[in-house]
Structure 1
Amino acid sequence: MKKVVIGLMLGVFQLSFGQFSRNVGEFSSLKVYGKIDVVLVPSSESKVESTASDSEIETINKNGELRIRMTPSKILQGDKVAVTVFYENLNDIQANLSSTVSSPETTKAKMLRLSSNEGSKIVLNVATGKLNIKTNSGGEINVTGRADYQDIIVNSGGKYHGQSLESESATVTANAGGIAEVFATETVDATTRAGGIIDVYGDPADRKYKNVIGGKVNFK
């Protein structure tokens, strides 16, 4: 009897802090909105866990695209929320509106798309054949690991830190104050516009680059 009472007390204690685990169905695309810190965990099941209460987080899976956002009432409070996303296959990650996405594990996919917008941040170690990167409006992406080929677009003050991501080839464009750091050992095609800056690492033999209206390409 005493064990039952203790168990009930622990359950009430946990609920007072607001915790939930939610099965969300299979998905391959993830979009996060608002002040949510997402940690990705590869798994044999697709679910979302959080220390927030069940009523504070919205999860919508539409045709394999999982969207996670705070409810309007939680947004008004201005607090950050921690969410753990367990996934089976993931090849598209988008962080929006000051959210963050990271993982203690290597994110693996044949092709991987990463997008960070409106002051959001993505920090991942990856293993992929083709990596597509896009940052806008102060978004930031920091990637390590390995990709055969990279296609990178950095706009409007966005930042891409990929100097520790090994790759053979890269196509990279930095616009309107965007900053990109890219590693390529064989070929690079780099274009800057309106104050964009590209730093190229890896000493590629085949180099194509173009600066327009004050942009700059640096070979490190």
Structure 2
Amino acid sequence: MKKVVIGLMLGVFQLSFGQFSRNVGEFSSLKVYGKIDVVLVPSSESKVESTASDSEIETINKNGELRIRMTPSKILQGDKVAVTVFYENLNDIQANLSSTVSSPETAKAKMLRLSSNEGSKIVLNVDTGKLNIKTNSGGEINVTGRADYQDIIVNSGGKYHGQSLESESATVTANAGGIAEVFATETVDATTRAGGIIDVYGDPADRKYKNVIGGKVNFK
């Protein structure tokens, strides 16, 4: 029995070792770098938690912009790290260098800016007045929910999956092999360049579209 108790205590110690909770101060902008999987949780406090060691994750809050990245030694190991970010107000989210950002809750803001770069991915349900989207270099953004207006730029093989996001109007540009799927019920202004593809859902009555150098706009 004594051996069992000691074993359980050792297991709890090993589980808790390497976990941390860190207060980071108020922020409204979040930038994530390098193979970190972030889960967003709305809260009454601003903090970061992770199963990684406290010394393996860097958090820098500069003028309300929170940056999260692994330390150089952890990056060299090549492992992904899970981080939970508790936030009060958030209107700008950027995923970089193969990181991911998701949430079990709806992201709410008057204006919300999402950016995914270098093979990163953002998956969110949103409720916002204006949604700004930008993807570059294979970045991907998947959104559901609602927005009054969307402004979308998809570059260099980036992907935007917004066919399940209800919106009234949208301006969307797809460049250099970028792919965008957008939903709009009233107006859409779509431009493709150099092989970009835009699929428009929602049957908007007011349609403006332009294809340049092999791009394509499809109305579904």
State the TM bucket, normalised to the shorter chain.
over 0.9
* Residues 7, 21 of structure 1: alpha-carbon distance in 2 compared, 3 angstrom cutoff: farther
- Unaligned 5+ residue runs, structure 2? none
Question: What TM-score do you get using the length of structure 1 for normalisation?
Answer: 0.95
Counterpart Cα distance in 2 of 1:181 and 1:154: 10
* Residues 11, 43 of structure 1: alpha-carbon distance in 2 compared, 3 angstrom cutoff: farther
SS of equivalent residue, structure 1 residue 73: helix
* Residues 21, 186 of structure 1: alpha-carbon distance in 2 compared, 3 angstrom cutoff: same
Instruction: Give the drift of 1:17.
Output: 4.4
SS of equivalent residue, structure 1 residue 134: strand
SS of equivalent residue, structure 1 residue 5: helix
Structure 1 residue aligned with 2:91 = 91
Counterpart Cα distance in 2 of 1:4 and 1:30: 44
Instruction: Give the drift of 1:15.
Output: 5.9
Counterpart Cα distance in 1 of 2:146 and 2:194: 30
Superimposed CA distance per residue, residues 142-189 of structure 1 (whole angstroms, 9 cap, x where no aligned partner)? 000000000000000000000000000000000000000000000000
SS of equivalent residue, structure 1 residue 18: coil
* Residues 14, 110 of structure 1: alpha-carbon distance in 2 compared, 3 angstrom cutoff: farther
SS of equivalent residue, structure 1 residue 168: strand
User: Identity of counterpart residues, as a percentage?
Assistant: 99
Superimposed CA distance per residue, residues 31-75 of structure 1 (whole angstroms, 9 cap, x where no aligned partner)? 000000000000000000000000000000000000000000000
* Residues 5, 26 of structure 1: alpha-carbon distance in 2 compared, 3 angstrom cutoff: farther
* Residues 206, 3 of structure 1: alpha-carbon distance in 2 compared, 3 angstrom cutoff: farther
SS of equivalent residue, structure 1 residue 31: strand
Counterpart Cα distance in 1 of 2:211 and 2:149: 22
Counterpart Cα distance in 2 of 1:47 and 1:8: 29
Counterpart Cα distance in 2 of 1:132 and 1:195: 22
Counterpart Cα distance in 2 of 1:213 and 1:65: 38
Superimposed CA distance per residue, residues 123-148 of structure 1 (whole angstroms, 9 cap, x where no aligned partner)? 00000000000000000000000000
Structure 2 residue aligned with 1:22 = 22
Structure 2 residue aligned with 1:117 = 117
SS of equivalent residue, structure 2 residue 54: coil
Bigger mean CA deviation after superposition, 9-18 or 194-203: 9-18
Counterpart Cα distance in 2 of 1:75 and 1:213: 40
Structure 1 residue aligned with 2:211 = 211
Counterpart Cα distance in 2 of 1:118 and 1:10: 40
Instruction: Give the drift of 1:9.
Output: 3.6
Instruction: Give the drift of 1:13.
Output: 1.6
Q: How many residues align?
A: 220
Instruction: Give the drift of 1:3.
Output: 15
* Residues 107, 2 of structure 1: alpha-carbon distance in 2 compared, 3 angstrom cutoff: farther
Counterpart Cα distance in 1 of 2:150 and 2:192: 16
* Residues 96, 207 of structure 1: alpha-carbon distance in 2 compared, 3 angstrom cutoff: same
Counterpart Cα distance in 1 of 2:109 and 2:182: 20
